[in-house]
Structure 1
Amino acid sequence: MSAEPHATLPPVRLPSDAELARDALVAPLFARAVRLARWAGPDTRVDIGGELVAAQLTEAAAALGFDAADEEGPVLASQAWRVAVDTGLVDVTEPEDDGEEESGTALPGEDLALVPAGAPGEVLGLWLAALDTVLADAAVPDLDGLVDALDAGGEIDFDQLDWNPRREADFLDGVLANLYLLTVTERGASDRPVPLPVLAASMVIPQDMSEPTDAVLEQVSDAMMRLDDQFRQLEPIGLVEFRPVDEALMAEADDEELAAGSVAGAADDEDVSRYGMVRLTPLGLYGIRARMLEAGVVAPAVGELADKGADALLDAVSDYPEGAAQAEIEQWLTGRELPAAVAELLAAARGADEGGPLRRLRCQQALAPAGPEAEPAVRAVLDDPELGGLARVWLSERGVADVPAPDGAMVFWLTVDTIAAQLAADGETVELPLLMESLTAHHAGFFDQVWRVEHPATAYVLEAMGRLHPDRKAAKEARKAAFKARSRQS
């Protein structure tokens, strides 16, 4: 799958391998491939390339339960057979080139035994091989004009056909990568289908284009029609759930009207279901992630850090959206002795590096659901200059008695650390100015003292407060304090 190497995506939440394997086995196309593999025998004949001879397609369709009058049966049988061959569910012996043998033979392959008896990972490996075949087929356009595109030597003239195989495969990879990102991004609803126009526009309309031109709208329309055909092919393998473009809608509008209407409908949050809707299934998320990992993309999954140390956990979840970070932390805590786990988390949260504030925020998040068992480990860091404020907050929130009051230096340090963590986690959100106002409102002369705080992010935080603090006078004082902090650091 084409992707930028070393890019990091938000973590995905996946069912267990056993659940995914069950989904794979009931995917219609994969299930048909298994049935044909079991049907294959000594009398099965194949052409060059392992395709069933024409006379046997009807028999294969019948084996799949299609009536002889069903014109779609042989087509679906041919697709399922190709998957069976490519995945190793069927072993074929092709006819010799010398012409002595008119056809080759096919028998059930060794990998067929993995279907009833293999481990979930082995079943998923077969399904991934089937997915590769289906994706390759989906990247091939409608070849009605193939005969006209043959040159004098019988080779395909791709220029005349206007089809570049690599370009088509990259386009589909890009669409699926965008769909994956929309699904795993926390602000997107993973169980909500994505309108087809949104995907088409993501591949065609430049990000800096405020108003699409007619030419661009026509490209969006072409992309929608291409995706409509491709997702119809991808649904039977269990990759997506798909609602095709309404055929009546296509008859009502020309290309430009279709694209303009779909883009406008998506922007106005109108009912765009007639323009097509698509959603990656859990199995689809698994499959696209597997392809991304193979391409060198960092595509984490929730639960992967369960056997890692607290330092690796906090470093990783620092880059996660809040919900995914919480889910990963909960899985990490499961099965661990809580007092020891809390002590390990607190130790990993220390550090004066740039990532320290966000590690401490995630550590605080991890400790939030902890009960009385965690108290001894938390009390042990009350005098720690980096963790003492966090410990006091945790103990106070639980109504614990005799919590020592923090001194002024700790209060200012914790304020800087908290704002630095929020900036690292979410950037300059609309809620951040309110947090700044709340943290500074109860400290007279706050900006006269905070610039002296021995925290690596002091100047950075004060500069942000100078931009964002809702009180103009306080914002001005923050900018002056930031200048002093920078000068002090220099």
Structure 2
Amino acid sequence: MSDSSPLPPVRLHSEAELARAALSTPLLARAARLARWADPDTRVDAGGSLVEEQLPAAADQLGLTGDDAAAYAAEAWRVALDAGLVEIADEDRGTVRTGEALALLTGSPQEVLTVWLAALETVLADASVPDLDDLVDALDEGGEIDFASLDWDPESEAEFLDGVLGNLYLLTVSEDGAGDGPVPLPALAASMIVPDDMGEPTDDVLEQVSDAMMRLDDQFRTLEPVGLVEYRPVDEALMADADEELAAPVEEADVSRYGMVRLTPLGAYGLRARLMEAGFEAPVVGELADKGADVLLDGTAAFGPSAALAETELWLNRHEPLSGARELLAAARGTDAGGPLRRLRCQQALSLVGGEAEPALREVLDDPELGGLARVWLSERGAAEVPAPSQDLVFWLTIDTVAAQLAAEGNSEELQALVEGLAEQHSGFFAAAWRVEHPATADVLEAMGRLHPDKKVAKEARKAAFKARSQQGG
């Protein structure tokens, strides 16, 4: 992902809901319980980890049993230490005391989430570390880890996981993405490995995807207890067969056997916080609700339709219909490149406003930029005495509308249908359109030339675009 443009806006749960979710995550709950359990007799080693003799008691405190009980207890302690729930009291004696962050867990939702974010960082760091068995195998004769034999680059591994989580975030918040649904692990792995311009993946690429899936399977198992994701692991029966090609195409009914991952609402909050810290612009639905109409229209310009609608509804809820309509109309004016899309967003916002706003629309009937959308709004509501638009206004509004659609959607199928309809319904459209005094006239006509499937019509559009550009002096 590039941080040069904003990410799609995310819809976050309230901080109170997120804080409750954070407190109920298995890992933070265990870390908090160990922090409250620890006393002056609790002993740690030089790195702050519980000494081995303490692990059985810690596991018992957490109600953990089985072969992995000590490992889970050690992990929970490490989270408690890194998140500030416990602190080293005396390094020489290896004693601990309650950390200042423990009190935050009974504080405000924002304080709870601050502790959870610290816990998340610890778990993300752990997820990038090789499996314990691999570390043991990499010990040299002196008992030191031979990192070269592991073929493990800590920085690259962390960047890979960050990239995967970034793609999962995008798939979750994008309007045409997974949304609240789970994402197949093969698709997520392939998003990091397979080049966008590659048709059929090569055997080498498929093998890389398979290897990435195995790494991600371990990592998502690690990340689930902190509440970042909900994860259905790769079917053990598939992993048991060493010859099974995990990256091979599979039937839709079987795809869940290859792992399914879903970003939780808490996870969306956490990843957004990390993305913003890394310099990305990561908007959230609702943050424009208390801003001016100019900020709303410009801010929602890059939003998808449903996100823009949700943001606009929140804004309108804070305004009286008439004054809100006036503010929106005033903000929609402008001959700059963003003007057409502002007016489109304004029109969409006004479609949510009732008849109380009618005086504001009548006030702009003579406005060359707003008169067209005002007439549309009044006519759709069956208002009386709506003056007919002049031909010049009709053509200006047409150019403005197509320019807005281009800015919002690019060369979409919907825009192509609009272009075809315009050329079909208005004979001599291009002969008149090039004369329209709108900053986007030439660009719109060029786009119509690209989009129209009829070569003759497309040629007319290009000729009209040339005339328009000549008229504009360039």
TM-score in terms of structure 2 length: 0.96
Shift of 1:449: 1.1
1:238 and 2:205 aligned: no
CA distance in 2, matches of 1:422, 1:217: 39
Does 2:89 correspond to 1:90?
no
Paired residue for 1:489?
A: 472
Residue among 19, 28, 31 paired with 1:30: 28
Distance 2:225 2:7 in 1: 27
Verify the 8 A CA contact 2:138 2:147 in the aligned structure 1. yes
Moved more, 104-113 or 153-162: 153-162
Cα separation, partners in 2 of 1:360 and 1:207, compared to 1, 3 Å: same
Q: Which amino acid aligns with 2:119?
A: A
Q: Secondary structure at the residue paired with 2:262?
A: strand
Partner of 2:120: 131
Q: TM-score, normalised by structure 1?
A: 0.93
SS in 2 for 1:271: helix
Provide the rounded CA distance (Å) in 1 between the counterparts of 2:252 and 2:333. Answer: 46
CA distance in 1, matches of 2:226, 2:47: 22
Q: Report how far residue 6 of structure 1 moved.
A: 3.5
Residue 453, structure 1, aligned to residue 436, structure 2: yes
Describe the shift of the 1:189–1:150 C-alpha distance in structure 2 as closer, same or farther (beyond 3 A).
closer
Q: Structure 2 residue aligned with 1:146, among 107, 111, 135?
A: 135
The alpha-carbon deviation at position 76 of structure 1 amounts to 1.1
Which region of structure 1 is more displaced relative to structure 2, 138-147 or 56-65?
Answer: 138-147
The whole-number CA distance in structure 2 between the counterparts of 1:328 and 1:63 is: 47
Aligned to 2:379: 396
The 2-side partners of 1:205 and 1:470 are apart by: 32
Return closer, same or farther for 1:470/1:162 CA change in 2, 3 Å cut-off.
Answer: closer
2:289·2:318 contact (CA, 8 Å) conserved in 1?
no
Q: Does 1:416 align with 2:399?
A: yes
CA contact (8 A) 2:290 2:318 kept: no
Q: Does structure 1 residue 295 correspond to structure 2 residue 278?
A: yes
Q: CA deviation at 1:442?
A: 3.9
Aligned AA for 1:377?
A
Q: Which amino acid in 1 is paired with 2:129?
A: V
Q: Deviations over 1:95-133 (max 9, x none)?
A: 32xxxx4xx1122222211112x1111100000000000
SS at match of 1:190: coil
More off after superposition, 352-361 vs 5-14: 5-14
Counterpart Cα distance in 1 of 2:454 and 2:141: 78
Give the AA of the match of 1:385: P
Out of 342, 365, 372, the residue aligned to residue 325 of structure 2 is 342
Task: Note the 1:275-314 alignment, pairs <5 A.
Answer: 275-314=258-297
Comparing 437-446 and 180-189, the one that deviates more: 437-446
Residue 302 of structure 1 contacts residue 327 of structure 1 at CA under 8 Å; is this kept in 2? yes
**Corresponding residue for 2:46?**
48
Q: Structure 1 residues 383 and 440 mapped into 2: Cα distance closer, same or farther (>3 Å)? A: farther
Matched, 1:181 2:179: no
Counterpart secondary structure, 1:307: coil
Q: Does 1:72 align with 2:61?
A: no
Q: State how far apart, in whole Å, the 2-side matches of 1:413 and 1:253 are.
A: 66
**CA displacement at 1:154 relative to structure 2:** 5.4
Q: 1:190–1:62: structure 2 CA closer, same or farther, 3 Å change rule?
A: same
Q: Cα distance, 1:149 vs. partner? A: 3.4
Distance 2:284 2:270 in 1: 13
- Give per-residue Cα distances to partners, 1:25-66, cap 9 Å, x unaligned: 001111111111111112211111111111111111111122
Q: Which residue is 1:318 aligned to?
A: 301
CA contact (8 A) 1:30 1:130 kept: yes
Between 131-140 and 185-194, the greater mean CA deviation after superposition = 185-194
TM-superposed CA distance for 1:5, in Å, is 3.5
Does residue 259 of the first structure (1) align with residue 247 of the second (2)? yes
Distance, in Å, in 1 between the alignment partners of 2:454 and 2:238 is: 54
Residue 477 of structure 1 and its aligned partner are, at CA, apart by 2.3
CA deviations 1:333-357 (Å, max 9, x no partner) are 1222221111111111111111111
CA distance in 2, matches of 1:16, 1:228: 30
Gaps of 5+ in 2: none
Q: Tell me if structure 2 keeps the 8 A contact 1:83–1:130.
A: yes
SS of the aligned residue for 1:45 comes to coil
For the structure 1 residues 271 and 144, does the alpha-carbon distance in structure 2 shift closer, same or farther, using more than 3 Å as the test?
A: closer
Superimposed CA distance per residue, residues 176-225 of structure 1 (whole angstroms, 9 cap, x where no aligned partner):
00100111110113111000001111111111221211111111111000
Map of 2:353 onto structure 1: 370
Q: Deviations over 1:242-284 (max 9, x none)?
A: 00000102224525x2222xxx22xx64530000000100000
Cα distance, 1:473 vs. partner?
Answer: 4.1
Residues 298, 342 of structure 2: 8 Å contact kept: yes
Contact 2:172–2:178 (Cα < 8 Å) also in 1: yes
Secondary structure of the residue that 1:44 maps to in structure 2? coil
Which residue type is aligned with residue 48 of structure 1? A
The structural deviation recorded for 1:143 is 3.5
CA–CA separation in structure 2 for the residues paired with 1:489 and 1:74: 76
In 2, the alpha carbon distance for the partners of 1:184 and 1:430 equals 23
CA contact (8 A) 2:9 2:307 kept: yes
Q: Does 1:387 align with 2:357?
A: no
CA contact (8 A) 2:402 2:444 kept: yes
Is 1:115 aligned to 2:105, yes or no?
yes
Note if contact 1:36-1:64 (Cα within 8 Å) is conserved in structure 2. yes
| 1:178 to 1:398, Cα distance in 2 relative to 1, 3 A | same
The runs of 5 or more residues in structure 1 that have no matched partner are none
Indicate if the aligned counterparts of 1:433 and 1:468 stay in contact, CA closer than 8 A: yes
- Residue 13 of structure 1 aligns to a residue whose secondary structure is coil
> Pick from 182, 192, 195: which aligns with 1:193?
182
Matched, 1:434 2:417: yes
* Aligned counterpart in structure 2 of residue 166 of structure 1, from 145, 155, 176: 155
From the superposition, tell whether residues 397 and 470 of structure 1 become closer, same or farther in structure 2 (CA, over 3 Å): farther
